[in-house]
Amino acid sequence: MKEYIKEFDGVREIVYAADTEKHELLFLNKAGLEAFGYDSLDQVLGKKCHEVLQGKDFPCVFCGDERLNDKEYLEWTHDNPVTGRRYRLKSKLIPWDGERTVRMEIAEDITESDTQEIEIRTKKRAKSERIVMDCIKMMYSSVETDEAINNTLEMMGNYLKGERVYVFSIHGRTMDNTYEWCAEGVSREIDSLQNLPVTLIDRWLPYFDKDECVIIEDVEQIKETSPEEYEVLKLQDIRSLITVPLIEKGNLAGYFGIDNPWADSLHEISDILKMLAYFFQSLLERKKREDYLKKIGFGDGMTGALNRNAFIRDAMLGNSRGLLTAGCFFVDINELKKTNDTCGHEAGDKLILQIYNIICDVVGEYPVYRLGGDEFVVLCQNISAEDMGELESRLKEELGGKNGCSAAVGQSFLENPGDLSLLMEEADKKMYKDKEVYYKRNSSK
């Protein structure tokens, strides 16, 4: 081995051999002599390796590393105080003169590459921090929380070169896709991703429990191990994804993520998403508070219908602008007072709820308002006269006494409505006429 090691004179790495007990240099190749400022091997032979190579008066701490052996190299990096350079070191025990074992070390100068790597990491970190700060600013750039969330998702999608960015909310055993941004040409999936079983993400939950990201670099990798998850993702044309848990008061409230992001930076993107998770959850909690305040400010506590405040907001403050048509229904429960007096207010409340549910079932997505104890109003924007007629027929049929549910119904319809108050007055008049007919018919019985 003593003769063999001389062949290292021709390599660019620094190579030396030193006695493990006396710490004396036995060999230093030409690259090493040049790096440490010597002209010949005779100048360093017999000198302490720590004096020549480290500029120290005592042995280096890594000389006594118990992991050092004669079967494999031990590797690490080290900043040399004599040369001022950074090296990747490989150490091993080798036989010497057939009588003893010595330490051989190969040092590869990685100063430039390491500096470049540090510069790259610094630039990437600066870019990530800029993305995070821009997204946080966007989160609080709008008074409307929904608008702030949607704008932030769009910014994330554009910065991170993803095809789809989204938020899922978890409610017990089910979850809903509540927000979604899609890149140009990418189909929306939010409507088909409602009321999904949480079991679809069973594989993700252990990661979420540890507040960790889920990274799928290639969806084909889970085809065999998680076939159900694979099918759901494949149907959405997802090739890769990153998802991050949203934690509320120590519990999993949902997650947000990005589909098919820039493939070369998945782990960097996951770091960005993790930094944004806290702020995103804060924004979603703000949305919940807003919804609650709207509910108590514009909702009827008993039925869940919109209340008089909401009716004034929507109907009396000029919301008819831009409407092509508008329709209105006034519905007044018949003999509610009699029900309360003879059967009790609990029965009266039950009747109010029954009537409200019937109205909702008939009119579908059109808003229903409860103006008083026995009176409901429905506003129908941009509805056709034919549809209004059909809804009126169904309401009168369902509220004509079936299952004890009776109510008077008045309807009005206008094209290019300039003032909804005229529409409502007409519906109100017709409702009272219908109520008069009801009482006349029932008084003769």
Q: What is the per-residue pLDDT for 288?
A: 84
Q: What is the per-residue pLDDT for 349?
A: 92
d(CA 267, CA 215): 8
Q: Which CATH class is domain 308-443?
A: alpha beta
Q: What is the per-residue pLDDT for 445?
A: 52
d(CA 358, CA 378): 12
Q: What is the per-residue pLDDT for 317?
A: 58
DSSP state of 306: B
Q: What is the per-residue pLDDT for 433?
A: 94
d(CA 153, CA 135): 9
CATH entry 3.30.450.20 includes domain 4-109: yes
Q: What is the per-residue pLDDT for 264?
A: 65
For residue 158, give every residue at least 6 positions away whose Cβ sits within 8 Å of its Cβ, in sequence order, or none. Answer: none
The percentage of the chain sitting over the pLDDT mark of 70, rounded to a whole number, equals 93
Report which residue type is found at 406.
Answer: S
Q: What is the per-residue pLDDT for 1?
A: 53
Q: What is the per-residue pLDDT for 444?
A: 56
3-state helix, strand, coil in the chain (%, to 5): 45, 25, 30
Q: Which CATH class is domain 121-295?
A: alpha beta
Say whether pTM exceeds 0.85. Answer: no
Q: What is the per-residue pLDDT for 312?
A: 84
d(CA 65, CA 84): 23
- Per-residue pLDDT of 383-436, as tens digits, reads 999 999 999 999 999 999 888 889 999 999 998 887 788 888 999 999 999 999
Q: What is the per-residue pLDDT for 140?
A: 81
Residues of the chain with pLDDT under 50: none
121-295 shares the fold of 4-109: yes
Q: What is the per-residue pLDDT for 4?
A: 62
* Domain locations along the chain: 4-109, 121-295, 308-443
d(CA 443, CA 213): 70
